[in-house]
Structure 1
C-alpha cells in the first residue's frame, strides 16, 4: 500500500496561502468600513466660524455665546 504524504513544501504553501487569504479579507473589510480622512468632520470648524463672525462684527458677544452654547450643549 502506497501512502502519499505532504512534504514540508506543501505545508509551507498552505500556511502562506491561508495567511494571505485572511490578510486579503481583512484589507477588504477595512477598506469597506474605513471613512476617508478627508470626509471626517472637523469638530473645531463650527467654533472657528463663530470666532471669525465675531471678529468681523457679524455677531455680538451675546449672540456668539448663544451660538456657542448651542454647539456645545445642544440647547
Structure 2
C-alpha cells in the first residue's frame, strides 16, 4: 500500500512548480513580444529643456540647438 499523504504532498509540490514555470514563461514571452513603454512627451520636454539650458550656458550655438532639437523631435515622434 502506498502512503497517500506523501504522494499528495509530492503532487502539490510538482503542480506548484509547474504553475510557477508557466507564469514565468508567460511573463518572459510577454516581455519579449510586447513593445516597451511608449515614450512620453515628458521625455521629449526634458530633452529640449536640457538643450535650452546648454544654449543658455553658451555650450552650444543657436544653430546646434536647432539641429539637436529637430533630432529630439524626430526621435520621439513615431
Mark the structure with the bigger radius of gyration: 1
The alignment covers a number of residue pairs equal to: 55
Give the TM-score of the pair, scaled to structure 2. Answer: 0.51
Q: From the two aligned structures, give the one with the greater helix fraction.
A: 2
Identify the residue that residue 7 of structure 1 maps to in structure 2.
4
Q: Give per-residue Cα distances to partners, 1:7-55, cap 9 Å, x unaligned.
A: 11011111110111011100111111126xxx64553321112112333
RCO comparison, higher one (Cα < 8 Å, 6+): 2
Identify the residue that residue 62 of structure 1 maps to in structure 2.
none
Structure 1 gap segments, 5+ residues each: 60-66
Structure 2 gap segments, 5+ residues each: 56-61, 67-72
Runs of 4+ in 1 over 6 A off after TM superposition: none
Give the TM-score of the pair, scaled to structure 1. Answer: 0.52
Identify the residue that residue 64 of structure 1 maps to in structure 2.
none
Identify the residue that residue 32 of structure 1 maps to in structure 2.
29
